[in-house]
Amino acid sequence: MKKNSFVKRSFLLLSAFCLCLVFVGPVSAATIIDEWGTVVIPAAPQLKEVKLPAEGTALLLLDFNKQVCNDKSRPRCVASVPAVSRLLGEARKANITVVYSLTAGSSAADIAPALAPRPGDPIVTSGPDKFLGTDLEKILKERNIKTVIVNGTAAHGAVICTAGGAALRGIKVVIPVDGISAESLYPEQYTVWHLLNAPRVATMTTVTRTDMIRIETK
């Protein structure tokens, strides 16, 4: 009798377990990543005409050295040089501050010739955040810089970190979309979206194009 009772209980437990499997189904391996395929690409931002006073404005040229700005690793950086060079020419005419940055292991001689610094132009060397471990903040403060025009590579490295750092320090940021680059389009698109939407940074950021920037002298 006891044996039959044990068998009956075991059968009932096994049946209940099988019913649970039927209703619950297999354990899903899905994660939030599986939803990424449904992401809708944000609309492109409106580019704005920008007029800036020469006094209080600085042009930042970030990492246009051949170690990272070359046809092999970042051809899009090389392609951006002519537009940045035209903007640099306007900056020189207006006599505004031009600040360069380099990646570790490079020198001023490695900067693209069309963007070559002049004697006396400040140059800092750092990782993605050009404020980190450099005198960049001091350089901008000493010149009473209120607005920086940020150009450079990589968009998702030096540009996003340095532009964000400037905005969080109370400096207005102007981003010419044809003056920033990465290995592909997506990092450039993401960088612009981030700077226009990040808390505190968004209110300090304007997106434009190099030929839409006017530097006004007195």
pLDDT value of position 142: 97
CB 166 within 8 A of CB 173: yes
pLDDT value of position 30: 78
Pull the structure tokens for residue 127: 């990782």
* Residue ranges per structural domain of the chain: 50-216
Q: In 140-171, which positions are buried (b, 16+ CB within 10 angstroms) versus exposed (e)?
A: beebebebbbbbbbbbbbbbbbbbbbbbeeeb
CB 62 within 8 A of CB 103: no
Spatial distance between the Cα atoms of 153 and 151, rounded to a whole number of angstroms: 7
Q: Helix/strand/coil (H, E, C) string of 127-171?
A: CCCCCCCCCHHHHHHHCCCCEEEEEEECHHHHHHHHHHHHHHCCC
CB 154 within 8 A of CB 190: no
pLDDT value of position 218: 75
pLDDT value of position 17: 47
Tell me which residue has tokens 């490295």.
157
pLDDT value of position 22: 46
Q: In 40-58, which positions are buried (b, 16+ CB within 10 angstroms) versus exposed (e)?
A: eeeeebeeeebebeebbbb
CB 201 within 8 A of CB 174: no
Complete DSSP assignment for 43-58: PPPPP--EEEESTTEE
Pull the structure tokens for residue 131: 């404020």
CB 152 within 8 A of CB 130: no
* Tens digit of each residue's pLDDT, the chain (218 residues): 555 555 455 544 555 544 444 445 455 567 889 999 899 999 999 999 999 999 999 999 999 999 999 999 999 999 999 999 999 999 999 999 999 999 999 999 999 999 999 999 999 999 999 999 999 999 999 999 999 999 999 999 999 999 999 999 999 999 999 999 999 999 999 999 999 999 999 999 999 999 999 999 87
- Which superfamily does 50-216 belong to? Isochorismatase-like (3.40.50.850)
The pTM (predicted TM-score) of the whole model is 0.86
